[in-house]
Chain A
């Protein structure tokens, strides 16, 4: 028997698990982009989710006598819109809707794209060829044009948004994951798993995916921003969230007519979109730094 038994971790003086998490947290601290973005997002999310704590008004309640009042009047923090509904309340509850839709509208393409991309990249051959062709076709159309067209055909509303964005948005994830898998599957630990008789499904799910998913997650962050803008745009065009459900896009559209008098009706929701987008971008950038290969 080989007499030179060596201890498990000569390089790491501390217990392996402890040192590892200590390093991870340290890097997290040192990432101002991530901290600021996360703080911003968290604040927005909190205010929207805990809306009843911040406003006592019902966002759908119309009060025509108090229509188009300015900030501070009748107890309305930011005034009211043309139907007398409290702007601040609509902002908060509308935020709930927009954020929820944006998040879900990223989740479905993420899942679909990851599955199709993994299958294409791992198996190659005709499966890959077919999926690639479909990707090519979808990619040929501008994103917004296709989404708007689909929603138009499907009829406006939240469900249509999900279907349309999923049908168009999955391709980006598929390409990212496929590319990563094409490279990763040549790594020797994958060959070792194959020679160890592990099933393809297990190799894809347990061995490959955890190692390639980070790029897709980073992309998803920026995708949420894009989706938010898409939803807001759709609603602005009347194809998205239907009234009376509050939503930033409809608020912007409605407030347009009153730019000269109650300009806050349009600009405040617009500002909300921008700030939320900023928060998401910062988190995305921060995550990209943190999850970059070789950084862990």
Chain B
């Protein structure tokens, strides 16, 4: 707790303009889609933090802003105490790397696997010229592929193997923070385990800090130390993994956990955990953005947008709900 965090993000906002301002005004919508609407986050060195959310939550956009391939409109990213400018130097760009979701489009089909790795090593002078070739092969060995893979093209590999290559590429530049955006969603179930185990091993062997973006809570619970839950561009709860799963304090988190299908069949006649559809991000509700689907919504929820407040007992657990730390009622606790 006393060591300075590796990553400190404050007030990050990323927006996209949708159509023309006039048309938006006519339709009573906002012209700016606030995909990421003010995120504060810290990540400690060596930990694995999960960023969880459904479609439209902004988690992927935030990840891209972190890596530097999406421009943040506002906000600050501090890596190891130093602020990263909007246009990063080559050295800064190396420090945060990403593993992408789709193994079928994240590798250049016209370059051999070895070629992709060698290019990165060369451009950034990661190792001396003469060692580039052997280092590329070493990286492939590290992710469990044999040396011969260097001459092959991506299309000759299976999805799981391509993800290994993607991981090799991400660690080639020796980043301090690895962002994995849904690294196993596009893979078959039996293959997911190899990638998840690989990530765990690399964390242990290389001391990597991991930010895992996922909608799969089983993976999150298995792999990560802490979880941050996003909804419509905001973080609405952050907590250590077990604390979140055993005692979620935000109604959305509770609903999310209750919605996970379980291996043990249960009472079929219960109503769904979360009702309705999320509102359009161009027409956000006043006050708390979850109130339109929230079983606990009160008047104050429509008037005031709740901020992330920490638990009086555990400063590591925060939630953005007016009733997060109020006396518990049976409907909010979800023992998992």
Contacts and interface: CB of A to CB of B under 8 A. Distances in A.
Quick check: do A and B touch in the complex, using CB within 8 A? yes
Interface of A: 1-2, 4-12, 16-17, 20, 187-189, 191-198, 202, 206-207, 210-211
Which of the listed residues B108, B109, B157 has the most CB atoms from chain A within 10 Å of its own CB? Answer: B108
Contact of B156 (A1, A4, A11, A189): A11
Interface string B30-64: 00000000000000000000000000000000001
Given A194-B69, A207-B111, 4 more contacts: A2-B194, A5-B146, A198-B119, A210-B110
Interface string B294-305: 000000000000
B88 to A, nearest CB: 8
A130 B256 CA distance: 48
Nearest to A11: B156
B242 to A, nearest CB: 26
A267 B325 CA distance: 94
A51 to B, nearest CB: 40
B144 A6 contact: yes
Interface in B111-155: 111, 119-120, 123-124, 143-149, 151-153
A197 B90 contact: yes
A190 to B, nearest CB: 8
Contacts of B106: 187-189, 191-192
Interface of B: 64, 67-69, 88, 90, 93-94, 96-98, 100-102, 105-111, 119-120, 123-124, 143-149, 151-153, 156-158, 161, 166, 169, 173, 194, 197-198, 201, 205
Nearest to A189: B108
Contact of A2 (B156, B169, B201): B201
A211 B110 contact: yes
A196 B172 CA distance: 9
A211 B107 CA distance: 12
A197 B148 contact: no
Contacts of A189: 105-109
Contacts of B156: 8-9, 11-12, 16
12 contacts: A7-B148, A8-B156, A11-B157, A11-B158, A16-B152, A188-B105, A189-B105, A191-B64, A192-B98, A192-B169, A194-B68, A195-B98
10 closest cross-chain pairs (CB), A and B:
A8-B149, A197-B93, A188-B106, A8-B148, A188-B100, A189-B108, A195-B67, A2-B144, A188-B105, A194-B69
A188 B109 contact: no
Contacts of A188: 100-102, 105-106
B43 to A, nearest CB: 17
Contacts of A1: 144, 201, 205
B66 to A, nearest CB: 10
Contacts of A17: 151
Listed residue (A5, A9, A11, A187) with the most chain B CB atoms within 10 angstroms of its CB? A9
B49 to A, nearest CB: 19
A196 B67 CA distance: 9
A8 B108 contact: no
A4 B148 CA distance: 16
A210 to B, nearest CB: 5
A211 B198 contact: no
B152 A197 contact: no
Nearest to B104: A188
A187 B103 CA distance: 11
B100 A6 contact: no
Nearest to A10: B158
B108 A211 contact: yes
B100 to A, nearest CB: 4
B123 A197 contact: yes
Contacts of B96: 195
B161 A6 contact: yes
Given A197-B123, A211-B108, A192 B194 contact: no
B108 A193 contact: yes
B173 A196 contact: yes
Contacts of A20: 153
Most buried by B among A2, A4, A7, A16: A2
B96 to A, nearest CB: 8
Contacts of B151: 8, 16-17
A143 to B, nearest CB: 33
Contacts of A2: 143-144, 194, 197-198, 201
Nearest to A190: B108
Contacts of B94: 197
A7 B146 contact: yes
A122 to B, nearest CB: 14
Contacts of A206: 119
B98 to A, nearest CB: 5
Nearest to B179: A195
